């Protein structure tokens, strides 16, 4: 039943939501009503549960329909009133991003913002610092995957493999040879890049969806190798990974006491190594943002965009597709490798379970949810997807259930992502004497 515009029709809404509740009751019936007793395999009946679920469905359906009706009437009003104005928009989140970017003192604003971020370890709890490190790592990962998927349109479902390679490179070199963080950072990145090139060569001529499943397979293969090989310590994982060195100082014993005397808000439980890692990953993320921004606006970046839109046209224009694809793939791998090294130093113990398909899904969701190809979008997406499960922690059991539902909901509500990426559009105003209007920012079509 679709909704008609106009007055709120009680009977219709009641009927529609009741239908939804009944349908849910039917659907969930066997699974909700009957509970298999694992001891004797008898069936217990759970009428209260089923009724509660049906009731919930009724309420949700009513709320959802109301929401959709409001959205539809808002759209219609907009269409009627502004039929000649351009449509669409970057989304509600865009206003302040664009405001910042357009502001006169934007560099100063951004600088202040970064300073604010840098101050976090000095007043926040260790838990918050930990979360922020994780969020920043995922921002780096998201930006890396964004180059591959968001900008170039190469669907990589096994991105976590490069992340794992970076982490394991550091872990193994540290475990077997005692090599330090700073040496392993480039090494981890290099190994990941090498693997990216290795995978890229045979695989990049495949069509989009075939590429997706092959990369998924690659991710799984890497994980299985990590689990089953003695060299990588298998499922036992590798522990005791050293944190980054800071001029040979032991931060916790030599530096922290001094800081604690000066900074009243700082938490005494904070592991200073984590603080160092925080700064490292923050610096890395800032560098990444700058690098990605420059890349996107370079010749290479435009070649990637062209790849995403129409490969055949690319070839006709003389763009070397293979080189463009390989570069995107390999660069994406590099970032994942870097992030992996930082991750290993943060958690000090890694094993293959941290690098499963779900991680690839998370990172991909960050890119798609945030808005493919859009840097602020990816950042926002990472924040949402990392911080959200933390908020949901209180629902523990239902955490993943809600997460899955939210993923679907977010896609249905905004398929283009939270902050859609922007493309320059030139609008010609046919007024006789005035010159052509300056370029306007228009949302990229999905």
Partner 1 sequence: MELFLDLLISGLTKGSIYALIALGYTMVYGIVGLINFAHGEIYMIGAFIALIASLALSQAGLAGWGLLVSVAAAAVVYSAMYGWTVEKIAYKPLRGSSRLSPLISAIGMSIFLQNYVQLLQSPNFLTFPSLVPELGFLAPVSHIVNSTQLFIWLATALIMTALTVLIKFTRLGLSMRAVSQDPDMARLSGVNIDRVISSTFVIGSALAAVGGLLIGCYMRQIDFYIGFLAGMKAFTAAVLGGIGSIPGAVLGALVLGFAESFAAGFISSDYEDAVAFVLLIVILIARPGGLMGAAQTQKV
Partner 2 sequence: MLKLEGLHTFYGNIEALKGLDLTVEEGEIIALLGANGAGKTTTLNCISGLIPPRRGRVFFDGEDITGHSPESLVARGLIEVPEGRRIFPALTVMENLKMGAYLRRDQPEISRDLDYVFNLFPILRARAGQSGGTLSGGEQQMLAISRALMGRPRMLLLDEPSLGLAPLIIRNIFDIIRQINMERGTTVLLVEQNANLALKVADRAYILTTGLITLSGSAEVLMADEGIRKAYLGG
Quick note: the x/- pattern for partner 1 over 246-285, rule CB under 8 A, is ----------------------------------------
The residue from 83, 107, 115, 408 that contacts partner 1 (CB under 8 A) is: 408
Residues whose CB falls within 8 Å of the CB of residue 137, separated by 6 or more in sequence, listed in order: 281, 339, 342, 343, 346
Does the protein bind partner 1 through residue 26 (CB under 8 A)? yes
Q: Is the CB of residue 5 less than 8 Å from the CB of residue 73?
A: yes
Instruction: Say which entry of partner 1, partner 2, none residue 238 contacts (CB below 5 to 8 A, set by partner kind).
Output: none
Around Cβ 425, how many Cβ atoms within 10 Å? 12
Q: 208 vs 257, which CB is nearer to partner 1?
A: 208
Does the protein bind partner 1 through residue 406 (CB under 8 A)? yes
Q: How far is 237 from 360, CA to CA, in rounded Å?
A: 20
Q: Is the CB of residue 369 less than 8 Å from the CB of residue 411?
A: yes
The residue from 43, 59, 317, 425 that contacts partner 1 (CB under 8 A) is: 43
Q: How far is 118 from 105, CA to CA, in rounded Å?
A: 20
The residue from 73, 95, 228, 298 that contacts partner 1 (CB under 8 A) is: 228
Does the protein bind partner 1 through residue 361 (CB under 8 A)? yes
Q: 211 vs 270, which CB is nearer to partner 1?
A: 211
Q: Cα-flanking dihedrals φ and ψ of residue 8, to 5°? A: -75, 110
Quick one: tokens of 384? 């949402």
Q: 12 vs 35, which CB is nearer to partner 1?
A: 35
Quick one: tokens of 338? 């870097």
Quick note: the x/- pattern for partner 1 over 197-226, rule CB under 8 A, is -----xx-xxxxxx-xxx-xxx-xx--xx-
Residue 440 CA, chain-centre distance (Å), reads 28
Q: How far is 429 from 435, CA to CA, in rounded Å?
A: 8
Quick note: the x/- pattern for partner 1 over 120-159, rule CB under 8 A, is -----------------------------x-----x----
Q: Is the CB of residue 350 less than 8 Å from the CB of residue 359?
A: no
10-33 vs 47-81: helix crossing angle, rounded to 10? 140
Minimal distance, residue 336 CB to partner 1, in Å = 19
Q: 282 vs 383, which CB is nearer to partner 1?
A: 383
Minimal distance, residue 218 CB to partner 1, in Å = 7
Quick note: the x/- pattern for partner 2 over 377-416, rule CB under 8 A, is ----------------------------------------
Footprint on residues 70-99 left by partner 2 (CB under 8 A): 79, 83, 86-87
Quick note: the x/- pattern for partner 1 over 328-357, rule CB under 8 A, is -----------------------------x
Residue ranges that bind partner 1, judged by CB under 8 A = 23, 26-28, 30-32, 34-36, 38, 41-43, 149, 155, 202-203, 205-210, 212-214, 216-218, 220-221, 224-225, 228, 312, 357, 361, 364-365, 368-369, 372, 397-398, 400-401, 403-408, 411-412, 415-416, 446
Residue ranges that bind partner 2, judged by CB under 8 A = 79, 83, 86-87, 427, 442, 445
């Amino acid at each position: 039943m679709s909704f008609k515009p106009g007055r709120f029709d009680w009977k219709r809404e009641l009927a529609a939501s009741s239908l939804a509740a009944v349908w849910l009751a039917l659907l969930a019936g066997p699974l909700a009503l009957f509970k298999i007793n694992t001891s004797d395999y008898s069936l217990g009946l759970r009428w209260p549960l089923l009724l509660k679920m049906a009731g919930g469905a009724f309420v949700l359906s009513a709320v959802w329909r109301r929401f959709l009706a409001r959205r539809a009437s808002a759209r219609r009003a907009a269409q009627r009133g502004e039929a000649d104005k351009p449509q669409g928009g970057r989304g509600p989140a865009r206003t302040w991003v664009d405001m910042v970017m357009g502001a006169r003192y934007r560099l100063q604003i951004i600088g202040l913002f970064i300073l604010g971020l840098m101050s976090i370890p000095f007043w926040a709890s260790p838990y918050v610092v930990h979360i922020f490190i994780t969020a920043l790592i995922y921002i780096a990962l998201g930006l890396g995957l964004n180059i591959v998927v968001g900008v170039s349109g190469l669907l990589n479902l096994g991105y976590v493999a490069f992340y794992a390679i970076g982490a394991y490179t550091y872990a193994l070199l540290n475990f077997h040879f005692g090599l330090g963080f700073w040496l392993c950072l480039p090494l981890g990145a290099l190994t990941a890049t090498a693997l990216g090139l290795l995978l890229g060569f045979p695989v990049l001529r495949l069509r989009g969806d075939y590429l997706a499943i092959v990369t998924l397979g690659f991710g799984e293969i890497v994980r299985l190798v990590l689990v089953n090989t003695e060299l990588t310590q298998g499922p036992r994982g590798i522990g005791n990974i050293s944190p980054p060195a800071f001029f040979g100082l032991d931060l916790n014993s030599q530096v922290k006491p001094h800081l604690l005397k000066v900074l009243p808000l700082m938490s005494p439980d904070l592991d200073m190594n984590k603080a160092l890692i925080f700064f490292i990953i923050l610096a890395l993320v800032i560098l990444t943002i700058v690098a990605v921004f420059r890349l996107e606006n370079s010749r290479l970046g435009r070649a990637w965009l062209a790849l995403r839109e129409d490969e055949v046209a690319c070839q006709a224009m003389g763009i070397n597709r293979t080189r463009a694809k390989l570069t995107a793939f390999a660069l994406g791998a590099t970032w994942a490798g870097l992030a992996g090294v930082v991750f290993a130093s943060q958690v000090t113990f890694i094993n293959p379970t941290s690098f499963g398909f779900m991680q690839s899904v998370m990172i991909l969701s960050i890119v798609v949810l945030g808005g493919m190809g859009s840097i602020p979008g990816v950042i926002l997406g990472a924040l949402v997807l990392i911080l959200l499960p933390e908020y949901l922690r209180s629902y523990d059991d239902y955490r993943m259930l809600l997460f899955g539902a939210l993923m679907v909901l977010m896609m249905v509500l905004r398929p283009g992502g939270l902050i859609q990426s922007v493309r320059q559009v030139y609008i010609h105003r046919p007024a006789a004497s005035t010159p052509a209007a300056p370029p306007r920012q228009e949302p990229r079509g999905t």
